[in-house]
Amino acid sequence: MTDLLFRGGRAFLAAGAFAEAVLVRDGRIAAAGAESDVVRLAGPGCETVDLGGGLLIPGVTDAHMHPVQAGLERAKCDLSHVYGLDEYVAKVHDYAAAHPDHEWIDGGGWDMSAFPGGLPHRSQLDSVDRPVYLIQRDHHAAWVNTRALEIAGITRDTPDPADGRIERDADGTPSGVLHEGAMDLVGLLTPRPTEQDLTDALMDAQQHLFSLGVTGWQDAIVGSYAGSDDQLPTYVAAAAAGRLKARVVGALWWDRTRGAEQIPDLIERRKSAEGLETFRATSVKIMQDGITENFTAAVIEPYCRCGGTGLSYVDPELLKGYVAELDRHGFQVHFHAIGERAVREALDSFEGTDPATRHERRHHIAHLQIIEPSDVPRFARLGVTANLQPLWATHHAQMDELTIPFLGEERSAWQYPFADLLRAGTRFCAGSDWPVSNADPVQGMHVAVNRTEPGTSVHATYPTAQTPFLPGQSLDLATALTAYTAGSAWINHDDEAGVIAAGNRADLVVLDRDPFTEPAQDIWRAKVAMTFVGGEQVYQAG
């Protein structure tokens, strides 16, 4: 491979350190430092990459996302780029007209905040001539029409599943919203994607992520969940064929209807990916609760106005034994925890693991919307990494109308306490939860620093979108960028990535500007100009 010399701007190495130039040789970082020193090391025929005053950063590793599901949704009825009932219904009708051969109309991306109380209704989709199944943006609910309910046999007499809820009209008739585990009552009846569909979705997602500077990720659910099929064979095949160029860890889904008896199955699933260069199935995903907007997030004190304390999907006492056994078998544990009770239950479960193996496994808790203040120091003490999804830490309709009024003033102030965690010595990684939210890490960094909506957001014009949300919890840009690069690469046990240093793999991203030299409120404007994986260019802005 020809040497590559990156010059004409700055390079962010790690933790706030910069260099003038970077040399890449044979897919690895050969040198980084003063331009005059690096240029002298360049070999004959070296190719110069002009940064044009922009910033070279390590390739981003997204620590929590769902790319195969995102790719499938991009190919279906994708509502993520429009907002509001009229636009959603128009999009559904347009999709139905364009696909007259489809037995079902399925897709997703609708936003709860577009509806009074966060709840659409089946009747709003009954003008469509086929059954409709649309997953909510957060993937914790589905919106269906009356025809879909009829096919599934869901009536006022259908009981709620243990891990979900059927939303109902005043007379008990299902209204058309299925929460959490209730999604499967309809979702599993929709047409199954073929293996080619899944492969195409993964390849589409990979190229989209390269365009955003994401060169690796942790897929946060590899298994069957919420009507989606198991993606493990897709990843294994793509990696074996050399088509998966990004470095990926699959977090195997913990089936919350089963207990420790599933661990041998997880071990066998992990073995199926052994020996692959770009994919490993070494993590296990446990979803401990739901979300605040539908009151399934597990909280300590009841929700205001409506009561209830949410759902703990895994019995907290049993959870401790499961986590200890997963740790003993060499698995990293990747938790979903939104409410303060779920966060506490996840932290409690790590108390029973061996401190030595905790460090080796690199366990982490994602989302962390609400943390009771006394639990903040426990992350560092237990060696548990905080997996941040910064895009959610703003004033937007879901926050102001569907969350804060039901959490109350004190608990609302415990949300997304990034600065408190940092001061307590917590290690960070970061991700997007795509397709739940935008996969662009620059947008996430903007929110981590500003705690306001980035200009590209559909919520950017919401009345309080540019009012910082709990600004005392803001991070500086170097810390946010390090979380997305070094922090998330570390979580994936990818110790040759995330930092621009001699010997590391040349996963690199060129930004079209240097956000460190511009006003913080303009961070979101930075765009990816080029992306390299192992020194090979995989994206060029056009």
CA distance 114 to 84: 5
Evaluate the omega torsion of the peptide bond into residue 435 and state whether it is cis, within 30 degrees of 0: yes
Which residue from 542, 538, 513 is spatially nearest to 57, judged by alpha carbons?
513
DSSP string for 188-227: TTSPPPPHHHHHHHHHHHHHHHHTTTEEEEEEEEES-BTT
pLDDT digit string (tens) for 67-90? 999 999 889 999 988 999 999 999
Across the range 329-353, mean pLDDT stands at: 97
Considering the chain, what percentage of its residues have pLDDT values greater than 90?
A: 89
> Residue range 409-419: average pLDDT?
98
- Give mean pLDDT, residues 416-441: 97
pLDDT 10s digits, 78-137: 998 899 999 999 999 999 999 999 999 999 989 888 898 889 999 999 999 999 999 998
- The pLDDT value recorded for residue 458 is 80
Cα 143 to Cα 106: distance, rounded to the nearest angstrom: 10
Query: What pairs with residue 387 in β-bridges?
Result: 366, 429
- Report the chain's mean pLDDT, rounded to a whole number: 96
Q: What is the model's pLDDT at position 30?
A: 98
User: Which pLDDT band, with edges at 50, 70 and 90, does 226 fall under?
Assistant: confident
280-302: average pLDDT? 96
Could you tell me whether strands 164-168 and 536-540 are parallel, antiparallel, or unpaired per DSSP bridges? unpaired
Structure tokens at 472: 């005392």
Weakest-pLDDT range from 44-58, 261-275, 449-463: 449-463
Instruction: Give yes or no for residue 1 having a pLDDT over 80.
Output: no
> What is the structure's pLDDT at 460?
87
pLDDT tens for each residue of 459-505:
888 999 999 999 999 999 999 999 999 999 999 999 999 999 999 99
pLDDT on residue 162:
85
Predicted local confidence at residue 513, as pLDDT: 98
CA distance 107 to 86: 17
Q: What pLDDT is attached to residue 140? A: 84
pLDDT in tens, 6-37: 999 999 998 889 999 999 999 999 999 999 99
- The DSSP 8-state label assigned to residue 362 in this structure reads T
Secondary structure element (H or E) that encloses residue 147, with its range: helix 146-152
Residue with tokens 């907007």: 293
- What is the rounded average pLDDT of the residues 233-237? 98
Beta carbons of 252 and 285 less than 8 angstroms apart: yes
Q: How far is CA 37 from the centre of its chain?
A: 40
Smallest CA-to-CA distance from 298 within 288, 307, 306 is with: 288
How does residue 164 score in pLDDT terms, banded at 50, 70 and 90? confident
Closest by Cα among 146, 168, 147 to 159: 168
Query: Which CA distances in Å does 172 have to 154, 158, 160, 168, 175?
Result: 11, 10, 12, 5, 8
Residue 4 has pLDDT above 90, yes or no: yes
Q: Provide the b/e sequence for 190-218 (b: ≥16 CB within 10 Å).
A: beebeeebbbbbbbbbbebbbbbbbbbbb
Provide the pLDDT confidence category of residue 423 given band limits of 50, 70 and 90. very high
- Tell me the mean pLDDT in the region 311-330: 97
Q: What is the pLDDT of residue 330?
A: 98
Residue 359 in tokens: 């460090």
Instruction: Quickly state the pLDDT bin for 512 (edges 50, 70, 90).
Output: very high
- Specify the pLDDT at position 5: 98
CA distance 195 to 231: 9
